Structures are given as structure tokens and as C-alpha cells.
Amino acid sequence: MNGAQALIRTLVDARVDVCFSNPGTSEMHFVAALDQVPEMRGVLCLFEGVATGAADGYGRMTGRPASVLLHLGPGLANGLANLHNARRARTPIVTVVGDHAGYHKAYDSPLESDIDALAGTVSGWVRRSARSADIGDDAAAAVAAARTAPGQIATLVLPADTSWSAGAASAAPLPVEAPAAVPDDALAAVAAVLASGEPCALLVGGGATRTRGLVAASRVAAAAGAPLFCETFPARLERGAGRPVVERLPRAADQVTRRLAGVRHLVLVGVRSPVSFFAYPDQPSDLVPDGCQVHELGTVADDLPGALERLADLVGAPAEAVLQPAGRPELPTGELSLDSIGRILGALLPEGAIVVDEGVTSTRQMPGPTAGAPPHDWLTLTGGAIGQGLPVATGAAVAAPGRPVICLEGDGSAMYTVSALWTQAREGLDVTTLVFSNRSYRILEGELANVGAAASGPRARDLLELGRPELDFAAMATGMGVPATRARTAEDLIQQFRRALAEPGPHLIDVVLPGP
């Protein structure tokens, strides 16, 4: 078998059986091999940033890596921003970057560039597979690296001659180590802090934002009389009726400071100490209050749910977590606002929904009205690189075919990777996208003031303005095969959202927000 066949066979045997692809000439043997190893599902994306974002969404929902097939340095470059987000989400991904044949690189033909330098910026593991005889072992190592707790990006650079040469063999999956147990003395130290009687707070992230970890964290928090927060941008937060109550730490620095005021001990579980998203003149970067001590319960690579359960026992926590009661808001009528949209979402969110949230300024009020909706997952923009929502929704839908995916998308962000809609149409994915059209980079209008650049005039404001000309997302979606409508009132949105949820396949609703 040739290298490409051995690679795909090895991936499939390790349960990496989806490949989000945008191939070029150097990857043609990989493409051809898809007919020899039909267990691998190739999903075509029209831009590499869609492929990498889809792999992120897939990995968040399955816990297993998808593979991504990219074309040389420029293809990897196009995929980097969503790999950056995936790195922050600690999503396992096997990135395969095709390269020129080894002997061809010295000729510096037009597509030659420094793939290794690019790969290093987002990958926890990089290897160049120099010979077809090595590709099986290299692929098995890549999967194992991607799956190493807490999950990371493993990049395998695949020269074309490695791919096309014979003499390759597939390799068996390598064992993946279970996450490490947190040592007893670390647990005891945190237990002592929680028993001190001083004001404490818990901040959980990483693998502790799933139900098992949250139940234990909620019990611990109850025992200590401490508030329970989760990180601002969780990769996957399990929430809704019957699940533990947890508050996402706000993004805005001043709001974080207010929420943590008076806390003397901040216990971190799979998350780093809170810092400001950006620096602002004369504002602190470190958001831990003065006089507050920070305690870390293990690292993000540890078995955090297990550690939290042991900690709950140590502190004599109640058996039950504080669970969210079921409850949906009343459906609103009349003019659309962020408040009424939140209530519509809360009223109609289907059970088992996967909500992909890249609403930026438009979705900050959504957690409240959706808290009591049936159990669902909430996936956020982990790395701040916009253009993540549509691709992650695409990958999540591939990962969880029985579950409805709701993508909450800002208009500015949607334009980064809008061709994800085409892949949704092609694959018949059950994704309902709500684009919040406020016709601006609204977040930057606020940031212009936050950084003290308030002396700005019309030329500055014009650079944050998306309404000239107006973006018609319904037209664009239709042009890519996704049925689309436009909602200007609550009644519009309710009717269109219900219909989109009821029908199979992708839909887009252009939610036109009133002007400022």
C-alpha cells in the first residue's frame, strides 16, 4: 500500500474517521485513497478555516479527534485562526498538511513556504513524515498526541512522495494515558482552604464544565458557601434544566472585578487565574482582587471530575448539587431586541440542542433566559479569533447527527467563514444559524471608548460600520444552498425559528436588530 492509504487506514483504526478537507495537488494521493479506505468520511470545505473550525466543533462534541487535510503552507495559514481557537479549547485534532515531495523543496516553487514555523504556533505536536515506511507509525503517534489529556493539536506534515510511495503499512492505535489523578495532599490543601471560614469562590474550566465535574463542583461550592463560576469562554458547557447552576465569569474586566470582590480564596479547577481579555490604559491585567489568594486544584491535564468528587467527600459536601429548575420565558411580541431574542431562544430551545455562540455583543444576555430550557450544550469562542461559529456548528452537526445545532452568529464574524453554509447544505446538516445583524463591529464601538480613544471622529467610526452597503445574509445563504429568511419582529423570528427547527437540514435566519 502507498503512504496515503496507510495513513488513512491507521487513522480509521484509531477511530479518526472524519476528515474535513480542502485538498490540492500535493494531497491528491490522499484523496484517491479515500476510495480504498471507505470508512473515512471526507467532508469538503471551501476554505481551510472552515475545515479547522469544523474539526474543533467535532472534537468538542465527541472527545475524539477529527482529521483535517490542508494544502501546503498557505492552506495551513488559512486554517490557523480556528486552530488557535481549538488550541485554547484544548480540542484534539489531527492536522495533516500536505507538502511538496522532499526532493522538490529545494527548487522553491511558488507554493513553497515554512510550514513547520506555522504549525509550531498552534500545535502541541509536530512531525514531518519523511518516508512512506514511517507513515503508519507517525499517524498512530499523531492520534495519540492529539488525545493526550487534556487534548491538543497534532500536526503531521505529509510530503507528496511519502504519500505516493509504496512500502507503507498501517499501524495499530497507541494506548492513550488516562488523565492523572490529583494527589491527596493537593486535595487536602484545598479542602483546608474551603474550611477556613474565609470567603471562597470556585472557578472551573476545561473538562470540569461537563455535567459530572459540575455536579461535584456544585456540591463542593455548597459545602463551602462559595459561589461557583466557570470560565468566561468554555469549550463546552453542559447546562439547562436539571443540571448544576453555574455562572460564567463575565468578559468585561470591571464586571469580573465586581463579581470577585471580597473573595479571599479563589480555587481554580482546570482554568488559569482570571486576566483581562485585552490591556486597557491604567487598568490591571490581573483580575484577582487584592488580598485574594489563588489555589489550583490540579492542572487542566488531570482528572478534574474525579478530583472534585474526592474533594466533595473531603469537605463533607451534600449529596446533591444545586440544580437548575426547568422553566421557559414567555414568548415576546413586537420589536426585536437582544432581550426579546433571548426570551425566544429560551422558550423554543429544543432538548439536546448544541448552541454554538459567536454572537459577540449580541448574546451576552442569552444565558439568563435559556438557563431553564431543556438540557443543552453551549460552545463558545475560546480563543477570540472570530470566524469560528459557522465552522464549529458544522463540525458539531457532523459529530452529533441526532441533535439540533443552533448557531448564534454576529454579522461581522459570519463574514469570515461564511462558506461553511455550503458545507452544511452539502452534508444536509441540521444547523439553524441566527445572524444578528447590527450592521457594525459593535464590540469595537465599545472598545474604542474603553481604551480611552474617545476622541475619535467620523473616520474612525466609519471603520467599525458594516451597514454601507447592507449585508443581506439571506441572499448569501440562498446562494450557497441554505434556505434563509429575514426576521424583523419577534413574531417573524418565532415563526421562522420554529419552522427551521421542524425541518431537516440547515437554515439561516437574518435577525435584523433595530439601529442604535
Coil, strand or helix: which one is 304? Answer: helix
| Angle at 148 (CA atoms; ends 38, 68), nearest 5 degrees | 35
| E strands in 335-420 | 354-358, 376-380, 405-410
Q: Does 476 bind its own copies (CB under 8 A)?
A: yes
CB closer to its own copies out of 354 and 443: 443
| DSSP symbols for 135-170 | HHHHHHHHHHHHHSTT--EEEEEEEHHHHH-S----
Q: Does 462 bind its own copies (CB under 8 A)?
A: yes
Residue 500: its H or E element: helix 490-502
CB closer to its own copies out of 139 and 287: 287
Q: CA–CA separation, 177 vs 172, rounded Å?
A: 16
- C-alpha dist (Å) from residue 123 to 127, 135, 207: 10, 19, 19
Q: Does 439 bind its own copies (CB under 8 A)?
A: no
Among candidates 136, 127, 159, which has minimal Cα distance to 6?
136
Q: CA–CA separation, 218 vs 201, rounded Å?
A: 11
- In angstroms, what is the minimal distance from the CB of 34 to its own copies? 4
Q: Does 32 bind its own copies (CB under 8 A)?
A: yes
**The only residue of 169, 295, 375, 447 in contact with its own copies, by rule CB under 8 A:** 447
Q: CA–CA separation, 263 vs 226, rounded Å?
A: 9
Q: Does 255 bind its own copies (CB under 8 A)?
A: no
Q: CA–CA separation, 436 vs 439, rounded Å?
A: 9
Q: CA–CA separation, 486 vs 345, rounded Å?
A: 16
- In angstroms, what is the minimal distance from the CB of 364 to its own copies? 16
Stretches 29-37, 135-143, 342-350, 366-374: which one binds its own copies (CB under 8 A)? 29-37
Pattern 184-213, its own copies, x by CB under 8 A: ------------------------------
**The only residue of 313, 320, 453, 503 in contact with its own copies, by rule CB under 8 A:** 453
> What phi and psi values does residue 377 have, to the nearest 5 degrees?
-110, 145
- Count CB neighbours of 39 within 10 A: 12
- In angstroms, what is the minimal distance from the CB of 184 to its own copies? 29
**The only residue of 298, 383, 395, 410 in contact with its own copies, by rule CB under 8 A:** 383
- Count CB neighbours of 499 within 10 A: 14
CB closer to its own copies out of 375 and 505: 505
Pattern 124-163, its own copies, x by CB under 8 A: ------------------------------------xx--
CA dihedral 13, 15, 18, 24 (to 10 degrees): -40
Q: CA–CA separation, 50 vs 355, rounded Å?
A: 18
Q: CA–CA separation, 69 vs 52, rounded Å?
A: 9
CB closer to its own copies out of 112 and 339: 112
- In angstroms, what is the minimal distance from the CB of 377 to its own copies? 20
Stretches 37-45, 199-207, 318-326, 491-499: which one binds its own copies (CB under 8 A)? 37-45
Residue 485: its H or E element: strand 484-487
Of residues 410 through 429, those in contact with its own copies by CB under 8 A are 412, 415-416, 418-419, 422, 425-426
Of residues 43 through 62, those in contact with its own copies by CB under 8 A are 44, 46-47, 49
CB 72 within 8 A of CB 98: yes
Q: Does 277 bind its own copies (CB under 8 A)?
A: yes
Q: Does 473 bind its own copies (CB under 8 A)?
A: yes
Cell numbers that stand for 13 in this block: 483504526
CB closer to its own copies out of 278 and 503: 278
Coil, strand or helix: which one is 179? Answer: coil
Instruction: Give the amino acid at 31.
Output: V
| Bridge partner residues of 302 (DSSP) | 180
CB closer to its own copies out of 204 and 222: 204
Q: How many residues bind its own copies (CB under 8 A)?
A: 102
CB 396 within 8 A of CB 18: no
**The only residue of 258, 262, 278, 320 in contact with its own copies, by rule CB under 8 A:** 278
Q: Does 28 bind its own copies (CB under 8 A)?
A: yes
**The only residue of 139, 204, 336, 474 in contact with its own copies, by rule CB under 8 A:** 474
Q: Does 458 bind its own copies (CB under 8 A)?
A: yes
Among candidates 152, 151, 167, 136, which has minimal Cα distance to 13?
136
> What phi and psi values does residue 251 have, to the nearest 5 degrees?
-80, -40
Stretches 214-222, 319-327, 390-398, 443-451: which one binds its own copies (CB under 8 A)? 443-451
CB closer to its own copies out of 221 and 288: 288
Pattern 93-122, its own copies, x by CB under 8 A: -------xx-xx--xxxxx-xx--xx-xxx
Q: Does 77 bind its own copies (CB under 8 A)?
A: yes
Q: Does 235 bind its own copies (CB under 8 A)?
A: no
Pattern 323-362, its own copies, x by CB under 8 A: ----------------------------------------
Q: Does 460 bind its own copies (CB under 8 A)?
A: yes
User: How far does the chain reach from its first CA to its final CA, in angstroms?
Assistant: 62
**The only residue of 452, 495, 498, 503 in contact with its own copies, by rule CB under 8 A:** 452
Q: Does 250 bind its own copies (CB under 8 A)?
A: no
Q: Does 295 bind its own copies (CB under 8 A)?
A: no
The side-by-side arrangement of strands in the sheet containing 153-159 is 41-44, 18-21, 66-71, 93-99, 153-159, 125-128
- In angstroms, what is the minimal distance from the CB of 150 to its own copies? 16
